[in-house]
Structure 1
């Protein structure tokens, strides 16, 4: 089946946030200039629309849901399996997987625009499955083998599926798009709830590393197969996208709002991953109950599920940009507050709060990029450019704090650095809001 060519935006399909932003910029196209017709109007429901959303949810569950569980591997490798490596070196495994999952969208986004959705899903899912089964063959001390299969191979597989599985939602939903995207995005923290429980019991129990990782690989492989069978694209009368990628890049380079979104997210994510990678290890090193420490990531990601599910609902009233500002500022403050982590209560409160606001941030990224995209035929290209850039923030977000942490475990240094950097990133979204207000005032004055 051929994929839908993303049609030019028109007044009847823009979301509340997009309508406000584009009206203020004077860039909303009139209905007469849009080629969109009723045939290509997303149905906002139906069996295959919701089946596709479910399949995309499973992709998120098995993709970033698994990467977000790397804190379990970070703790296990540091204490047991890779004791000859520093925490910073080990964190490069998870950081690289996250980096590739984002940056490969620079390739998968344009391929999605050209109708390669099914091929991307199949190849990406296969790579994720193979990487986990290969990981189970690694022996203690084999850092480079683990680095290649868990960092490189798995990251590429996730990158091929992540972008297209979010973008295909726009083919099936218009008015409900932000809500459905946030529900699909909740698959990641839901996976980050289930996977840590399973991995902690398997790796730290009687099963052991090899059989435990194989059991995890079997679960992920089965769910990815179901997702590939569930997803569909819509065949429309419009031709496939022929968007020139270089032209899209030039447009992005002149779009101030796109630049601010990209720069803000990139800087923010340097600090964003610190709690995700180090909360469990932080809890254990502070001699907090070992069983609670194993569940610290579960607590965080359970709250993240709630954050992602409610983000679309609340953003419909507050606006995606306003809610994004609130969530990023809250995350930055909570990262700094990790300095005070010392007992059970602090672990639970920090995990719940950070999980919720980090979930809101991730859930709103795709709708925010969509809202500030004037031509949806370029959505895949813009998505790829934005997330390839933000991937560099994620790449540095584990190793730099890990290096600051050092073998002396100076938690206050790493927490303060990560929190301050995240504050700088969140300030970019504040600048966006101020620019919109200024243009609105100028328009009213005229």
Structure 2
């Protein structure tokens, strides 16, 4: 849905897209609370399909629309916006765990989260607006020229690097808790590794973007990707509580930095401000394939015997390959713009 919502943003349908996405997402979340958990199709329709489509209509335009309002501090603005997902990732797991295991139970625990999401989306619909940029006279159809966008070599290389990096980037968010428990760490401590990573990602999504406005987002994306790849490889040496907590903090910060820097990188590749939304759509469509397939691949590599070296090696090599492509892309963009501050 990112492809569709990005194009709709450039066509001036931001408010309609945001409203439809909000209604569908909240409705689907309420449907999760009444779905029969023994029937897979009900959970798939409510959480997999409904919330997926609703989230796709919300996320891309909410991020891309910042390009309409910000120029000098675009990276910082996008970083602050993206940090909201980390804040949610810090709050919701703890909140739902307490509700599910308390007197509230699963159904009303999900409904409580749905009411909270409803209130936040109402505020979003009231506060967020688009401001379509005036199009240059010599490029009135830039936002429609998808062929030119999809044949832009630096842009497509960047999308490929995002796909590869997403193969490995989300592995700790799904498997670090299990990894810690199977290495003898108390389950209560292991549970909070997800909240720690999301908490560390909040400054990670803001601080690097502050410097990206001065140094260029691509100049920071490379080093951040290098650290993420090194940390994934460092999982081979994580065996105790101290190592697990340190890994969660560092990986949360740098993975958050990577995810927040991607948005200004995409925006900086636009030849005209009127095509920012059109570039965000395909970019997140392609990169989402990595997020979609990465963890199932890691799970298949783990199998039933949990040979952790297999997914760790797969994820770290994927991030290393992404780094190589990012360096190539950065050099191409620098040559195009005739500046090293890219």
TM-score (norm 1): 0.71
Tell me which structure has the larger Cα radius of gyration: 1
1:47 aligned residue: none
Indicate yes or no: 2:311 matched with 1:411: no
Indicate yes or no: 2:93 matched with 1:176: no
How far did 1:280 drift? 1.9
Structure 2 gaps of 5+ residues are none
Q: 1:332 aligns with which of 229, 234, 237?
A: 229
Deviation track 1:289-344 (CA, whole Å, cap 9, x = no partner) reads 22221211111011100101102212234321121011112112212222333221
2:175 aligned residue: 278
How far did 1:238 drift? 7.0
Summarize the Cα distance change of 1:270–1:112 in structure 2 as closer, same or farther, 3 Å threshold: same
Query: Structure 1 CA distance, aligned partners of 2:98 and 2:123?
Result: 25
Query: Structure 2 CA distance, aligned partners of 1:170 and 1:207?
Result: 42
* 8 Å CA contact retained: 1:183, 1:309: yes
Query: Structure 2 CA distance, aligned partners of 1:325 and 1:220?
Result: 34
Indicate yes or no: 2:301 matched with 1:400: no
| 1:204-223 aligned within 5 A | 204-223=101-120
* 8 Å CA contact retained: 2:67, 2:276: no
Summarize the Cα distance change of 1:341–1:140 in structure 2 as closer, same or farther, 3 Å threshold: farther
Number of matched pairs: 336
| 3-state DSSP of counterpart to 2:34 | coil
How far did 1:117 drift? 0.7
| 3-state DSSP of counterpart to 2:305 | coil
Summarize the Cα distance change of 1:266–1:176 in structure 2 as closer, same or farther, 3 Å threshold: same
- With 168-177 and 354-363 compared, the bigger mean Cα shift is at 168-177
How far did 1:153 drift? 1.0
* 8 Å CA contact retained: 2:25, 2:50: yes
* 8 Å CA contact retained: 2:298, 2:311: yes
Query: Structure 1 CA distance, aligned partners of 2:333 and 2:13?
Result: 36
Deviation track 1:411-442 (CA, whole Å, cap 9, x = no partner) reads 2211211111121112110112344577899x
* 8 Å CA contact retained: 2:60, 2:281: yes
| 1:199-278 aligned within 5 A | 199-234=96-131, 243=141, 248-278=145-175
Query: Structure 2 CA distance, aligned partners of 1:228 and 1:174?
Result: 23
Summarize the Cα distance change of 1:329–1:202 in structure 2 as closer, same or farther, 3 Å threshold: same
* 8 Å CA contact retained: 2:132, 2:274: no
2:192 aligned residue: 295
How far did 1:138 drift? 3.1
Deviation track 1:244-303 (CA, whole Å, cap 9, x = no partner) reads 77x622212332211111111111111111111112222233331222212111110111
Structure 1 gaps of 5+ residues are 1-103, 442-446
Deviation track 1:174-217 (CA, whole Å, cap 9, x = no partner) reads 21222111111111111111111112222344432222111111
Deviation track 1:58-97 (CA, whole Å, cap 9, x = no partner) reads xxxxxxxxxxxxxxxxxxxxxxxxxxxxxxxxxxxxxxxx
* 8 Å CA contact retained: 1:248, 1:382: no
TM-score (norm 2): 0.91
Indicate yes or no: 2:60 matched with 1:156: no
Summarize the Cα distance change of 1:438–1:220 in structure 2 as closer, same or farther, 3 Å threshold: closer
2:34 aligned residue: 137
| 3-state DSSP of counterpart to 1:287 | coil
Q: 1:372 aligns with which of 262, 269, 286?
A: 269
Query: Structure 2 CA distance, aligned partners of 1:403 and 1:289?
Result: 25
Indicate yes or no: 2:265 matched with 1:363: no
* 8 Å CA contact retained: 2:233, 2:313: yes
2:25 aligned residue: 128
| 3-state DSSP of counterpart to 1:136 | helix
Summarize the Cα distance change of 1:398–1:337 in structure 2 as closer, same or farther, 3 Å threshold: same
- With 360-369 and 227-236 compared, the bigger mean Cα shift is at 227-236
Deviation track 1:3-38 (CA, whole Å, cap 9, x = no partner) reads xxxxxxxxxxxxxxxxxxxxxxxxxxxxxxxxxxxx
- With 110-119 and 307-316 compared, the bigger mean Cα shift is at 307-316
- With 162-171 and 353-362 compared, the bigger mean Cα shift is at 162-171
Summarize the Cα distance change of 1:180–1:351 in structure 2 as closer, same or farther, 3 Å threshold: same
Q: 2:324 aligns with which of 422, 427, 443?
A: 427
Summarize the Cα distance change of 1:204–1:404 in structure 2 as closer, same or farther, 3 Å threshold: farther
More helix by share: 2
